[in-house]
Amino acid sequence: MSALFQAAAGSFLAPAFFGFLGLIPVVILLYLLKLRRTQVVISSTLLWRKSLQDLTANAPFQRLRRNLLLLLQIIVLLLVVAALARPFIRADATGGDDICLLFDRSASMQTLENGRARLDLAKGKALEIVDDMAGSDKMMIVTFERGSDVLCELTDDRRRLRAAIRSITASDTPTRVRDSVLVASSLQASTPDLRIVILSDGKIADLEDIGARAFDVSFLQVGATSNNAGIVAFSVRDPLEGVGQRQCLVLVSNDRPEPLETTLTLYLEDETIAVEEVAVPAKDVAEVVFALPDLDTGVLRAELDHDDALAVDNTAWLVLRPASAVKVLLVAKGDSTAAYFLKRVLALNPRVEAGVMEPENYTGRGDYDLVIFDGFAPDTLPDGASVFFNALPPVEGLGEDGVIENPPVIATDPDHPVMRFLNPQNVDIAKARRLVLPDGARPLVSTQGAPLLADVSRGGRQVLVVAFDLADTNWPLRLSFPLFMQNLVAWVPTASLAEQTYVATGEPITIVPTPDATAGTVTLPGGATEAIALDPTRPTYFGNTARAGLYTVQHGEQVERHAANLLDFHESAVTPAAALEIGRSEVAAERDRIRQNRELWRWLVLAALAVLAAEWWVYSRRAWL
């Protein structure tokens, strides 16, 4: 049915309303039934009967005339139903509507077109749209890259709109438009005349998960060039089992229609350590692997020596941190079975610096990163990360309600970092406490109706609780036990930080402050500085990472560097998209003026009213001859 309609010049936004055509037989029925006649006694019906017979003898035209009212009513119904189905045709926009402008300022918009950035071209188009606005039209401007920003609320103040447009700057971040489109679309429901215009080059990655709906948007496309090559992946691989060298992997993409031959240079700090020739076929990627010298710290920089339209993806940074030791404190009775196994497994991990303490000597975590409690819980939770075996941490809402005998392991939550690669189903447990978890706690391993291992982190502190005594199980003898401990160590913020070599632009940098730091400064790429407040008990996240490059964080005595990279395949493929697939609609790109869906329902309603008036006229003419 919908295919049939789309074949016609227009199409329908709400074809479900055609179900109302089922009302037509009802109308006919009502018409037949409604003809009630007034009864009049007259002297003789002789002549009337004869006249009637004569009339019906001239049948067809008379019958048609009699049915004129019925016909008109059916026409009115058809028009109303068609109007409800909201037919529309694509027509040139001539103003008269409110516009929600979704402005793309992601990395790909920095692509140079004949010396001008796409962003500037887009700004020009946006200004044109402002100029095209009719008197009372309103516009709102929402910019999007990884996140979205409402730059300007719905307003008809053209000066404000123009100033807002001119103030838009590009960001080095990739494009995520889903949330903006969904919000704008819901606005459209409450503001019927709102037209959504996406002003972009169409390099948008997340449109597929927008849901299967029809969206009424226009796509105004900017840009044309495909002259870009860029680094889309950059990582460092540790040697396996200590054998061999550390390796550096760079992935280069070529969006041009012809193959590329260029040079890739690798720098450590400012010294060149490797140069490779790269040949990338057209519209393809190529991998380059560098062997790295044995180094622990430093900033690696990869640079593509190619003068192309988009510069931001030609450089990438990695910050190498020493694999710092993770200080783990074990608070347990030195002679317990559990303590024995825990000490043994901690000794296995080369990164761990383990300390052991009797429970009665415990005074606080000191400078340990992770505290493991066995059979003992202090009155206050330590900061940072802690794990409680066979003890209840002082977490509000956490309690126990009896004992479970022989609980089998039934369910696990494999998405939690400490549960990676774990398969604890083969662990036998003799008895466990029946835990009552507080709101927000996350059970990681459960038996029937009760958790065995749960994440009860709160307030910036990471806390795990294990409901049983290791001595009551055979877990230490299983493979999942040392894996669990390894995950635990990696879970600690300082440890995870050491593994992170860069963040994607727009994602926040994690800062783990030194115990005495309460404030710090961040130097952005380009030289600007920002002051930040720190809380020594928990990590702080710095979010202003829209620029790609190196960020220097200074807190207390410590100076650390962080890298932010674009590294996005979609953004580096700068060829503008010809159409956007949004939900169920495919929106073709328009280059000059926006074409809008001109809805026809108003005309149909007017026509229905006219026919209704005609029907009333015919009816009264019949009555009064």
Partner 1 sequence: MAASTTSGLLEPDFLRKLERLALISKRARLGMAKGERKSKRKGSSVEFADYRDYVQGDDLRHVDWNIAGRLDALYLKLFEEQEDLTLHLLIDASASMGFGTPPKLEFASRMAAALGYIALVGYDRLSAEAFCGDRVFRLPACRGKGNAGKLFAFLEGLDAGGPTRLEESCRSYLVRNRAKGVAVLLSDFLDPAGFEDCLRRLCMSGSDLYVIHVLSRDEVDPQISGDLRLVDSETQAFTEISMSRALLRRYQQNLDGFRSTLRRECLARDIGYVPAVSDMPFERIALDVLRQQGMVK
User: By the criterion CB under 8 A, which residues form the site for partner 1?
Assistant: 35-52, 54-55, 62, 65-66, 622-625
Q: How far is the CB of 625 from partner 1 (least distance, A)?
A: 5
Cβ 443 vs Cβ 457: under 8 Å: no
**C-beta of 66 vs 584, nearer to partner 1:** 66
Distance separating alpha carbons of residues 202 and 578, to the nearest angstrom: 8
In the complex, the smallest distance separating the C-beta of residue 154 from partner 1, rounded to whole angstroms, is 55
CB atoms near residue 237 (< 10 Å) = 13
Residue 396: DSSP 8-state: T
CA atoms within 13 A on the CB side of 375: 17
Q: Which residues contact 56 (CB under 8 A, 6 or more apart)?
A: 62, 63
Residue number with CB closer to partner 1 (37 or 159) = 37
Q: Which is nearer to partner 1, 4 or 42 (CB)?
A: 42
Phi, psi of 389 (to 5 degrees): -95, 130
Rounded Cα gap, residues 143 and 158, in angstroms: 17
Work out how close the CB of 26 gets to partner 1 at its nearest, in angstroms, rounded to a whole number: 21
User: Quick one: 56 or 474, whose CB is closer to partner 1?
Assistant: 56
Between 557 and 624, CB nearer to partner 1: 624
Q: How far apart (Å, rounded) are the C-alpha atoms in residues 490 and 496?
A: 6
Residue whose CB is less far from partner 1, 47 or 479: 47
d(CA 54, CA 368): 112
Nearer to partner 1, 1 or 57 (CB): 57
Burial 67-91 (b: 16+ CB within 10 A, else e): eeeeebbbbbbbbbbbbbbbbbeee
Enclosing H/E stretch for 622: helix 601-624
Residue 52 or 477 having the CB closest to partner 1: 52
Instruction: Kindly tell me which of 7 and 42 has the beta carbon lying closer to partner 1.
Output: 42
The angle subtended at Cα 59 by Cα 53 and Cα 62, nearest 5°, is: 100
Beta carbon nearer to partner 1, 38 or 380: 38
Longest dimension (CA), the chain: 125
Rounded to the nearest whole angstrom, what is the least distance from the CB of residue 43 to partner 1 in the complex? 4
In the complex, least distance from residue 60 CB atom to partner 1, rounded to whole angstroms: 13
Of 466, 465, 458, give the one whose Cα is nearest residue 537: 458
Shortest spacing between CB 42 and partner 1, in angstroms: 5
The 10 Å CB-count burial string (b at 16+, else e) for 98-110 is bbbbbbbbbbbbb
Shortest Å, Cβ 35 to partner 1: 6
Distances (CA, A) of 5 to 11, 15, 171, 217: 6, 9, 43, 20
Select 73 or 262, whichever has its Cβ closest to partner 1: 73
HSE toward the beta carbon, residue 437, CA cutoff 13 A: 23
Instruction: Tell the smallest beta-carbon distance from residue 28 to partner 1 (Å).
Output: 17
Beta carbon of residue 613, minimum distance to partner 1 (angstroms, whole number) = 20
Distance CA 304, CA 313 (A): 9
Are the beta carbons of 563 and 543 closer than 8 angstroms? no
Residue 571: name the closest of 201, 47, 123, 323 by CA. 201
How far apart CA 416 and CA 68 sit, in angstroms, is 73
Distance, in Å, from the CA atom of 584 to the CA atom of 359, rounded to the nearest integer, reads: 62
Contact between residue 286 and residue 279 where contact means Cβ atoms under 8 Å apart: yes
* Residues 68, 65: Cα–Cα separation, whole Å: 5
Query: Closest distance between partner 1 and the C-beta of residue 138, in Å?
Result: 54
Q: What is the 3-state secondary structure (H, E, C) of 126-178?
A: HHHHHHHCCCCCCEEEEEECCCEEEEEEEECCHHHHHHHHHCCCCCCCCCCCH
d(CA 562, CA 502): 6
Closest approach of Cβ 29 to partner 1, in Å?
18
Nearest distance from residue 614's CB to partner 1, in Å? 17
Residue closer to partner 1, measured from CB, 44 or 380: 44
* Least distance between partner 1 and beta carbon 71 (Å): 16
For partner 1, the closer of residues 47 and 282 by Cβ is 47
| Shortest spacing between CB 57 and partner 1, in angstroms | 10
From residue 477, how far is each of 11, 425, 462 by CA, in Å?
A: 68, 13, 26
Residue 46 or 189 having the CB closest to partner 1: 46
